[in-house]
A and B are shown apart, each in its own frame.
Chain A
């Protein structure tokens, strides 16, 4: 595909970003099976992502990025996921790591984007084991971390490392340090043998007595909290200034939304002309097929409206310079899990109506189904975890810890 000219000042419009995303779809469809077999993105796809600026959507302008609003990021991923969820995952979830880096110190940003502004920045946010031990001038890092999506194409990776081995929690839990390392500091362990989003290449990274200087090791919580260190050089955009958790946790929705839309479109196209394998006859003529299609269409639309509303809230609160209240956060977490549930239900219903066709690897509906199910396992859209705090809150009990707030509704 044609290379799009880039310069520090050429920030495309949202429409242009989506047009470029659309332009990639035929190639992504073509490469989808190869990508699954590679269990990482094909090099040609990574080149396309750089050429179209897809990895720059949340990159700061001072490093050649677009500094676009939240919806641009989500929408680009939604469009791409209609053809390939794994690529969308890299654009959305991995692409959001640019904003995390933008929230870190200038020196960290110079290290990464100084030599090359086309970057896939990996994070391995689940710790198998490992620590950061303080030494003179820095830390010695040891351990293994999981889920480093896109790591095969990354020059840099971040991991959360506690000072003490006994610490437990998410990447931004108290006591965790965020460690930024060049690829010479770690090895990739290929553990990504999975049933869905195979091409995200979310492998393990391993460090063995690696020295990391002080400036690339920081309090993990501070990078997600309001006014992080990076605000000194990137003061403009809300994504670099406000509490980041609500945004980062929403980065799953674009890929899931697009995967469901892709599954629906492919199902419809196939089923409109399909004849029953055993008995012949037009499958589309069956009332249950018609009804299932409508039900899934209605669910996908409901999810789309809620997804758009989520994007809008995140953007509006960002522009207003205000974080979300505890009440809004529990509601947002609830709705994200609900959107995921609607989409998974919608796609599952379709693939189950495809007969044995639904099993074949070259059936894109089957791939979308595996992908959306796999994405649905992510903690940010986990049903029980995200739905129960809202119920507690609504019934006058304190919700669990949400972001940096505690919520307590008085009835």
Chain B
């Protein structure tokens, strides 16, 4: 199947078009969701459909065939896919958004990655298990193992955060497929289809143009902003990055809700034969979960609009707002978890069967909610400390607020 071309240049129309394409692929993702789980990686056929429909070009630079869409595009597309298959949505939204990670790196390495082939899934391995790098003339020498490389089975390139001997600040490196091997460690309870395995580097030389100190990469105006125009390549990155996870998370909860209603409106009790929908507690649970999801949606809609406007206008996001953004992300995640748990807990034994999509969505929601960006205690404590006039423990925030730990 050939790549579908876009017939509009308006970023919001393009986003809507990608959401429509994701919706059209929904039945395919849904019917293969169980197989995707068993495969513990997105199926090749589905990955091909993602590329053919340009679903991971939303943050790819225009000079490399991408769309440079507005912040929040990944949320809308990921949400749509996740109603059917949260694992595939993770690959599209979270891993797809890595295109702007690479778009902030030096122009030369971007040419190396996208020059030969514009259909790229760029994986990252962000957690160091062991090992590190030593500095050599013209580059780094790297050995070790890094965790959580979602979609690595479909990637030609990977980004790592590595510690270099004698250096305080880690360095971001970009490494081609021929230089790393996959360690299959992804045996998990949820989000199985993301194939989030470990990557191993053995005595690999990384030339200097494929490296960048992490501080520069995250700060305003990294090298990539010289070659790519959109604000997504130039904003101070930290308040932004957390958005990508919420599309799959929210969409999975929404999918669970929709599947629950579709199943329950027709279901009769296995033991009693009664129409389950007639039970008042069932009706009550549906409505409470619906209201929670609505609350999550209004919070995310507002947060995305805020980030997008801040990016477009070049507004600095103050520390207090960053704390609020993190707090609200954790809160949204909790709403999604509660909403889904309430429903799956009201399906009787049906709720534990593997063929039940609500059950799969539930495991996926729980798995996604373990991510640090939406961790409840961490994000809630920081905000609470700020509100009570204490240092938050986040050095950057405390410095900005003049609340140094004494």
Contact = CB atoms under 8 A, between A and B. Distances in A.
B328 A390 contact: no
A345 interface: no
A334 interface: yes
Contact of B287 (A292, A295, A342, A394): A394
B388 A297 contact: no
Which interface class (under 10, 10 to 19, 20 to 34, 35 or more) fits B? 35 or more
Interface in B161-182: none
B299 A384 contact: no
A368 B318 CA distance: 31
Contacts of A291: 377, 380-381, 384
B265 interface: yes
A305 B332 CA distance: 13
Interface in A336-382: 337-338, 342
B277 A397 contact: yes
A390 B287 contact: yes
A272 B294 contact: no
A297 B291 contact: no
Given A291-B380, A292-B384, A397 B278 contact: yes
Given A302-B299, A305-B295, A287 B284 contact: no
Contact of A390 (B290, B327, B384): B290
A315 interface: no
Contacts of A271: 388
Contacts of A302: 295, 298-299, 331, 335
B123 to A, nearest CB: 32
Given A284-B390, A287-B381, A396-B265, A335 B291 contact: yes
A332 B295 CA distance: 13
B262 A293 contact: no
B258 to A, nearest CB: 10
B102 interface: no
B328 A298 contact: yes
A294 B277 contact: no
Given A301-B299, A342-B295, A397-B278, A272 B388 contact: yes
A388 interface: yes
Contacts of B299: 301-302, 305
B272 interface: no
B286 A394 contact: yes
A106 interface: no
Contacts of B3: none
B381 A272 contact: no
Residue among B280, B291, B302 facing the most chain A CB atoms (10 A cut-off): B291
A207 B291 CA distance: 43
B17 interface: no
Contacts, number: 124
A290 B381 CA distance: 5
Interface string B258-291: 0001101110000000000110101111111011
Contacts of B330: 298
B286 A395 contact: yes
B161 to A, nearest CB: 29
Interface in A149-203: none
B383 interface: yes
A5 B291 CA distance: 44
Contact of A387 (B287, B298, B385): B287
B402 interface: no
A281 to B, nearest CB: 13
A335 B380 contact: no
B331 A298 contact: yes
B387 interface: yes
Could you say which of B266, B278, B384 has the most chain A C-beta atoms within 10 Å of its C-beta? B384
A294 B384 contact: yes
Given A289-B384, A294-B384, A391 B286 contact: yes
B388 A289 contact: yes
B151 to A, nearest CB: 31
A291 B380 CA distance: 5
B331 A387 contact: no
Interface string A284-318: 11010111111101110111011001000000000
B277 A396 contact: yes
A284 B381 contact: no
Contacts of A342: 295
A214 B31 CA distance: 68
B116 interface: no
A411 interface: yes
B375 to A, nearest CB: 12
A295 B294 contact: no
Nearest to A274: B388
Given A391-B285, A395-B286, A397-B278, A294 B387 contact: yes
B348 interface: no
A216 to B, nearest CB: 40
A90 to B, nearest CB: 29
Contacts of A306: 294-295, 298
Given A297-B327, A390-B283, A391-B284, 8 more contacts: A284-B390, A287-B381, A290-B384, A290-B387, A294-B379, A297-B383, A298-B327, A395-B283
12 contacts: A290-B380, A290-B381, A290-B384, A293-B387, A298-B328, A301-B299, A302-B295, A334-B290, A391-B287, A392-B277, A392-B283, A396-B265
Q: Considering the complex of A and B, which 10 residue pairs feature the smallest CB-CB distances, nearest first?
A: A290-B384, A391-B283, A338-B291, A284-B388, A298-B331, A395-B277, A294-B380, A391-B286, A390-B287, A387-B287
